Amino acid sequence: MSTAPRLEAAKRDWGDDETNCTVLHIDMDAFYASLETARHPELRGRPVIIGWLGSRSVVSAANYEARKYGVNSAMPMARAKQLCPGGAFVPVDMTYYRTMSKRIFTEVFQQVTDQIEQVSVDEGYMDVSGALLLWKSPRAIGAWVRQQVARRYGITCSVGVASNKLVAKLASTNAKPDGMLMIPEARQAQFVQMMPLRAIPGIGPSLGKRLDAWGIKTVADLAQMDETALFQATRSHITAHHLFLASRGLDPRPVEPHAPEKSIGAEVTFEQDTRDMTQVRELLHHCCNEVSSTLRAKSLVARTVTVKLRFADLSYSTKSHTLEQPMDTTTVMYPESVSLLRSMLKIPANASDSTPLPREIRLAGVSASSLSDRAATPVQLSFDDMFTGGDGVDKHKSGNSRRGQPDGHPGNRSDARQQSGNHTDSTGAGTRHDDHADTGAGTNTGSQSGNHPSKRISDSQRKSVFSTPIGQSERQPQRQKRDSAPDVSQPDAARSPQDALRKAESALDAVHGKFGKHAAGLGIEHDQWKARQVAGNSHLDPRR
């Protein structure tokens, strides 16, 4: 469901020249609510509001009847009930919505072309240049898609037709609900420049304020600026170039049928605002588990960890840390998240968990970005990894001392100390993130005692350990002294700590997949936290 601003004046006939108009943007109309109405006909004509029914829940979707009462997505459910007390409040059923989305893309869109870029569960782009030999007209394709979606599934969609993705998306937004709008290539600049500034993707509250300070209030004003002036206003060459092109109706991005994921995240709203550090850490650990499990399921690794906090006044703050090594385990992600949390709230490293947080937290979440395929991602082992076995114990130290434990984590996290890198953070009152460089020091991950003895490494050894794909063994197996089978009772010295931890968490994934997420845990258990949350957030129930 698009919440972008719309202009009634834009919903008109812009001409019949279809030359180069080969990009279609298809957007389902009030997708969740429309699907619920289609499978529950008794809801037809009534305001339908989709969302969890807890006191802190927000509206996930609302149909057009509900919007007449002022109900919109992301609005607190309590407020929606005040505005529309006679509405039908329906819990979210993401399994059903995803199933229907897959059917629509497969049974309708793919009958036209395989050049489809799905950007969410309810919208996508189509490049129909290869289909025009059969279909002749892009508008004929759009009309057929709309007819098939309505006939097969009982819901409606809106279609934008243009020569690029930006204009096609703006066209579908202004065609809503249940319409189609084609913008000829020669009139794209005119169409875009009549839009409000917030219609341009990437312009949120923070950037909007910066542009307003420069006297830029409309897209037409934006089009009068050159790139140099836009850079001075935005302080970003990338953003300045994007705005320069967008204000002229230009967009060089192709339709990408297999567009890679940019980030994977999880966030949860507390049932009550809290200043309890332990509760926030428990929730971050839960989110790290969700994110790392998804990374492993998709055979991805990430290098950037981001923590998001929303405060009681609905303002938010985010802070990111880019690691030197890729990761896909909670063991690495969680201590990084705790470190970011402390940095965001300016909590001293030596402060105990009983110390009240300086601000009440409404929501917390974790996301991982800078994603890459795990099997194809090289990893550079640290010297510590080269001198330790799979259990994280330094074989060259005396005694059985373990590595230092990262801040905020209960247990030995033998690979967490590998990471140091770049921080970014942002704050705001809206939903956009205003990222900027953070000058803080890298993550504190513990200390070690003792010194490693000097050891010379040959060129062949250096090549073998510094460029090993992360999906393969990160050490060369030790040569067996005899032809007999290895003693399995001994630690596997050929396995790095990261490999061992990944194997442990992957085994836990398998247990969760078979018996449910309540069956086992690794690290901090969250039984009390889950009990506190489940009552108002049924999607957190581990038995589901």
More confident residue, 2 or 68: 68
CATH architecture for segment(s) 15-188: 2-Layer Sandwich (3.30)
For the cut 50, the answer to whether the pLDDT of residue 345 exceeds it is: yes
β-bridge partners, 201 = none
Per-residue pLDDT at 496: 59
Give residue 254's pLDDT. 95
Q: How far apart, in whole angstroms, are the C-alpha atoms of residue 27 and residue 159? A: 6
User: Which amino acid, 188?
Assistant: Q
The lowest-confidence range among 287-296, 484-493, 500-509 is: 484-493
Q: Mean pLDDT in the chain?
A: 78
| pLDDT for the residue 535 | 41
The residue behind tokens 């005899």 is 482
pLDDT given for residue 206 in this prediction: 83
DSSP string, 285-329: HHHHHHHHHHHHHTTEEEEEEEEEEEETTS-EEEEEEEEEEEE--
Interatomic CA distance for residues 216 and 60, integer angstroms = 32
> 537 has which bridge partners?
none
Tell me the two tokens of residue 221: 């004003």
Of the candidates 371, 220, 400, 382, the residue with the CA atom closest to the CA atom of residue 305: 371
Alpha-carbon gap, residue 25 to 159, rounded angstroms? 6
DSSP output for 220-274: HHHHT--HHHHHHHHS-HHHHHHHHHHTTT---PPP-TTPPP-EEEEEEEEEEEE
* Chain segment 276-293, per-residue pLDDT in tens: 999 999 999 999 999 999
CA distances from 266 to 171, 290, 404, 457 (A): 31, 7, 28, 42
- pLDDT surpassing 80 at residue 473: no
Q: Are strands 88-90 and 48-50 parallel, antiparallel or unpaired?
A: parallel
To the query of whether residue 123 is one of the catalytic residues in this protein, the response is: yes
Which of 1.10.8, 1.20.1260, 1.10.150, 1.10.287 is the CATH number of 195-247? 1.10.150
CA dist 176 and 6 (Å) reads 9
Residues 418-447 pLDDT 10s? 444 555 555 554 433 333 333 333 333 333
Q: Which residue has the higher pLDDT, 531 or 37?
A: 37
59 pLDDT exceeds 80?
yes
CA 344, CA 356: separation in Å to the nearest integer? 14
Task: Give which of 173, 63, 61 is closest to 121, Cα–Cα.
Answer: 61
Q: Which residues of 37-62 are buried (b: 16+ CB within 10 A; e: fewer)?
A: beeeeebeebbbbbbbebebbbbbbb
Q: State the pLDDT at residue 349.
A: 81
Q: Is 93 helix (H, G, I), strand (E, B) or coil?
A: coil
The CATH fold assigned to 263-376 is Dna Ligase; domain 1 (3.30.1490)
Lowest mean pLDDT among 153-167, 375-389, 525-539: 525-539
Distance of alpha carbon 325 from alpha carbon 445, whole angstroms: 14
**Of residues 339, 216, 200, 222, the one with CA closest to residue 281:** 339
Bridge-based pairing state of the strands 123-127 and 23-28? antiparallel
482 has pLDDT over 50: no
Q: How much is the pTM?
A: 0.64
State how far the Cα of 207 lies from the Cα of 202, in Å rounded to an integer: 8
The residue with tokens 């799979």 is 390
At residue 159, the pLDDT reads 98
514 pLDDT band (50/70/90 cuts)?
A: low
Contact in structure between 446 and 405 (CB atoms under 8 Å)? yes
**339: Cα separation from own chain's centroid:** 20
In 60-115, DSSP assigns E strands to 61-62, 88-90
Measured in degrees and rounded to the nearest 5, phi and psi for residue 280 equal: -65, -40
Query: Given CA atoms 484, 490, 494, 498 in this order, what sign does their dihedral have?
Result: positive
Least confident window among 107-111, 134-138, 268-272, 446-450: 446-450
Q: Which residue has the higher pLDDT, 508 or 354?
A: 354
Examine the pLDDT at 3 and tell me if it is beyond 70: no
Rounded to whole angstroms, the Cα distance separating 392 from 504 reads 14
Tokens matching residue 492: 């596997």
Question: Which two tokens mark 175?
Answer: 């065609």
Task: Write down the pLDDT at residue 326.
Answer: 92
pLDDT, position 7: 81
Tell me the torsion sign for CA atoms 337, 343, 345, 346.
Answer: positive
DSSP state of 44: T
Q: Rounded CA gap, 424 and 395, in Å? A: 37
CA distance linking residue 22 with residue 19, whole number of Å: 8
The per-residue pLDDT for 54 is 73
Catalytic residue among 123, 282, 474, 505: 123
Of the candidates 206, 264, 270, 259, the residue with the CA atom closest to the CA atom of residue 235: 206
Structure token digits, residue 57: 């829940």
Question: What is residue 484's predicted lDDT score, i.e. its pLDDT?
Answer: 42
Q: Are strands 300-311 and 378-379 parallel, antiparallel or unpaired?
A: unpaired
pLDDT of 9: 84
In this prediction, residue 92 has a pLDDT band, given cuts at 50, 70 and 90, of: very high
The domain locations on the chain are 15-188, 195-247, 263-376
Whole-number percent of the chain with pLDDT over 70: 69
As a whole number of angstroms, the distance between CA 491 and CA 394 comes to: 12
- Residue 334 near residue 284 (C-beta atoms within 8 A): yes
Instruction: Provide mean pLDDT across the span 59-68.
Output: 94
Q: Which residues are annotated as a binding site for Mg(2+)?
A: 27, 122
pLDDT, tens digit, 9 for 90 and up, residues 365-424: 999 999 998 888 876 655 555 554 444 444 444 444 333 344 444 444 334 334 445 555
Chain-centroid distance of CA 76 in Å reads 22
- Helix 31-39 with 94-107: angle, nearest 10 deg: 90
DSSP annotation of 411: S
Q: Which of 136-150, 200-214, 383-397 has the lowest mean pLDDT?
A: 383-397
Reference 349, options 437, 418, 445, 448; nearest CA is: 445
